[in-house]
Structure 1
């Protein structure tokens, strides 16, 4: 499997989802604004998503994908892999149901501690969270079927599934555009409906791939025990990250009305390259590295990571630099209008310019962690996450103690997110380096330096374009969208050709990919 091709498939379909996510956020910003009802919905949406990341993404994939891939390589591969999947499902599903029921019971107390909201905003947040929480069961099961499909190198359905959630939420916004608590209620309903549709798509894709699972009686079989040995430490590690997310939410909820919304709208831009590039690379390389490690070929495993890091930086650096220097025009053009005021746009733009300083680190973490998971070492990422969590808590409390200004607190929290991401990346790399599992080769360091040179030229050009198009950013909606297109297109037209010219990209890999596509195109 070609890494560039696999990443392109996953990243391209994820890009579709992210674009729809932007459309959803644009609608929500104009209809809902940065209000108390918006903050309530965002908090209600974040809770199942936080636990989804705990149960259904990194931790689950870390335990499931390598073990499923190993069974596929066995003598009776498909049957053993299917049996293993059914045994895991038999334990996984009841656990999720019980967990969801427990949180439904304690929801008022949990929301009170988590948010600090009072009165109508508190009541609305409890209601919305109870509606959205079943999404956790649905999206966690999506992760199981996605793990199966990814292990079979079938990435399309899993990469496209998130787009369905965005479509459901957009439909809710279009049908119920009144704003306030009414629209927030239907957005919450749309979240759960979106989860049902996503799960249906993944099950259908798995059946088409020849994999259909039946429900078994829950039992701790040897396969399940092996899975738990790997996944429990990974869950604890993911748990540390999600505690960190809870802490961020805890502080944002107490920074005043609008803080949750500003951070969310800014993070949508930040999550675009992270989801398209970071998640795609991490998904694509984990099965490959697992196979090379299992075959006792560590040099090949390290080379896959080096290729992923190269591709990740090639795509991430221009995104981070561009978002940092032109955040103002982008936010104003895409979110401004309706209930989203000029002040909302200004604050959101500042938050974005701070957040993206950590964007390369976010992607690097996605590339580095498979080096541990493929060796069934989930303890090291747990310890690393613990250090990062401690740093997050200390820095946030320091900021809260240093200033009472709500805006400075929001900006400070954004800076902490970027700083701790680089700390996480640094620790993971140092550990891999000391163990001899991965070291940055000379060719990679040289290539990243050239990417930085191309990025610097792009930044200068973007600043010039921003100056030339200043009137357009405050003009009609058409002019605003055209000015954004000019910035995006202009940046790409400068960075990518310059990277090619000065050797900041693997030319041979792109030539091979194009050569493989040509015969198919002519067929």
Structure 2
């Protein structure tokens, strides 16, 4: 299958999901602002979602997909893969139920560990505990969704897993609207966050129903049987434990950042999470799409012993990642005030909130290329059943992140912006360490051609950023004006910025037209190798 085709399928539906996500966050900012109820909800929303990314979409996926893919490639592969999936599902359900029940019982301790400062505001801690218990069932549903998505991804069916987040955002938008009208003129934000938290749990059930239907439609009939701890299931568990840490540095850092953010002035946690939504747009579209597409393909190449194909696949993914994330990071940094004011300021979300949020965005996107490249490098280890190395690099990065957080928050006084910059710095360190280990072991090496291409992409990005900076001097006031002024000004930024980057990219040779054409046409990689 074509890397571009698979990535495009995932990215296309992810774009739709991110658009719905933007609508969701725009409504949320205007309805709740950055106050007590908003902070409590953001913590309740963060808990199941971070566990989802850490375990379900992170560790479980990178462990399950290669093992499932290898069984599909074996003789009598369908039967072996079916048996493996049934055994995993039959144990996975009970683990999820037990973990969810224990977490909900221990929720006061969990919330205290992450946000003890909430106790300084009357009612804030209790509300955060209540909302977290309401949202946590989402983890059970979405973890099963991640397994079903992984099963379909291994069969090169990427669309259903990419469509599921659209259902998630649609359900949450409905919850915000219902909560807003239920609140009426009372100005009681608690009503809104209670309804919204229930919508979070419901969205997990909606996605699970859809994915279960998609799996049946693909001809796979999963069965929940009596749990059996088979050697293959044991192997999966052994791989998952270190993979949880190795694949989840960003998510673990989110917990660390949440802890420090709750010690800052009220509203800081909400502003950080809102800013991260802008950062997640290109990360989700490019990073997750590439990482999801590359893992099963890389596993098959390594299983067949073809290192040349594995090298080419990762090179393609690396080039595509930088081609898209370098301009995205630059555009978000230069135009952060435009995006935050145009999308979020209004209702209870003030101009002062928008100014702080734009600074947070600039700090976060400094690490955007690293966030995305990590998604490409980590599968290089997991496809070879090497779970230790990502653990070591992640541990080093996490220690640095904690040290930086302590410095910028407690000593330097940089506040929430410093917290975001520390996350970007630790992600960049993790990226460098991962590549160094891949290179030293001969798994993947940075070629002169790839370096030249990225250098040219950087030139095109610099040209685009300069033009956007000039446009911001002209259009700046429009982003705090009426809706029409915001809309046409944003369209102007996007169209001119994208056009300048495209023209500059082709002019300086940032895009290998022959290579992209070959990928789109799914030209055999062996032939592409001869042309490289």
Q: TM-score, normalised by structure 2?
A: 0.94
Q: Does 1:199 align with 2:208?
A: yes
Q: 3-state SS of the aligned residue for 1:56?
A: helix
Residue 54 of structure 1, CA deviation: 2.4
In the other structure, the counterpart of 1:521 is none
In the other structure, the counterpart of 1:180 is 189
**8 Å CA contact 1:473, 1:483 repeated in 2:** yes
C-alpha distance in 2 between matches for 1:244 and 1:13: 27
In the other structure, the counterpart of 1:334 is 343
Residue deviations 1:385-425, cap 9 Å, x none? Answer: 1111111111111223314x5xx211110110110010000
Flag the 1:511–1:54 CA change in 2: closer, same or farther, 3 A: closer
Residue deviations 1:213-242, cap 9 Å, x none? Answer: 010111111221221222222124356654
Q: Does 1:139 align with 2:142?
A: yes
C-alpha distance in 2 between matches for 1:89 and 1:378: 22
C-alpha distance in 2 between matches for 1:515 and 1:47: 42
C-alpha distance in 2 between matches for 1:459 and 1:50: 32
Q: 3-state SS of the aligned residue for 1:505?
A: coil
C-alpha distance in 1 between matches for 2:97 and 2:13: 30
In the other structure, the counterpart of 1:108 is 108
In the other structure, the counterpart of 1:434 is 440
**8 Å CA contact 1:26, 1:335 repeated in 2:** yes
Unaligned runs of 5+ in 1: 518-523
| Count of aligned residue pairs for this structure pair | 514
Aligned counterparts, 1:83-102, within 5 A: 83-102=83-102
C-alpha distance in 1 between matches for 2:494 and 2:217: 38
**8 Å CA contact 1:62, 1:230 repeated in 2:** no
Aligned counterparts, 1:145-160, within 5 A: 145-160=148-163
Q: 3-state SS of the aligned residue for 1:115?
A: helix
**8 Å CA contact 1:469, 1:483 repeated in 2:** yes
C-alpha distance in 2 between matches for 1:12 and 1:470: 30
311, 314, 317: which one pairs with 1:305?
A: 314
In the other structure, the counterpart of 2:285 is 276
In the other structure, the counterpart of 1:520 is none
C-alpha distance in 1 between matches for 2:479 and 2:74: 59
Q: Does 1:189 align with 2:205?
A: no
Flag the 1:15–1:227 CA change in 2: closer, same or farther, 3 A: same
Worse overlay, 310-319 or 491-500: 491-500
In the other structure, the counterpart of 1:170 is 173
Q: Does 1:349 align with 2:355?
A: no
C-alpha distance in 1 between matches for 2:152 and 2:515: 25
**8 Å CA contact 1:4, 1:509 repeated in 2:** no
In the other structure, the counterpart of 2:416 is 410
Worse overlay, 293-302 or 271-280: 293-302
453, 456, 472: which one pairs with 1:450?
A: 456
Residue 35 of structure 1, CA deviation: 0.7
**8 Å CA contact 2:172, 2:199 repeated in 1:** yes
**8 Å CA contact 1:53, 1:238 repeated in 2:** no
In the other structure, the counterpart of 1:500 is 506
Flag the 1:478–1:461 CA change in 2: closer, same or farther, 3 A: same
In the other structure, the counterpart of 1:323 is 332
117, 123, 127: which one pairs with 1:124?
A: 127
Aligned counterparts, 1:1-20, within 5 A: 1-20=1-20
Flag the 1:516–1:385 CA change in 2: closer, same or farther, 3 A: closer
Q: Does 1:228 align with 2:234?
A: no
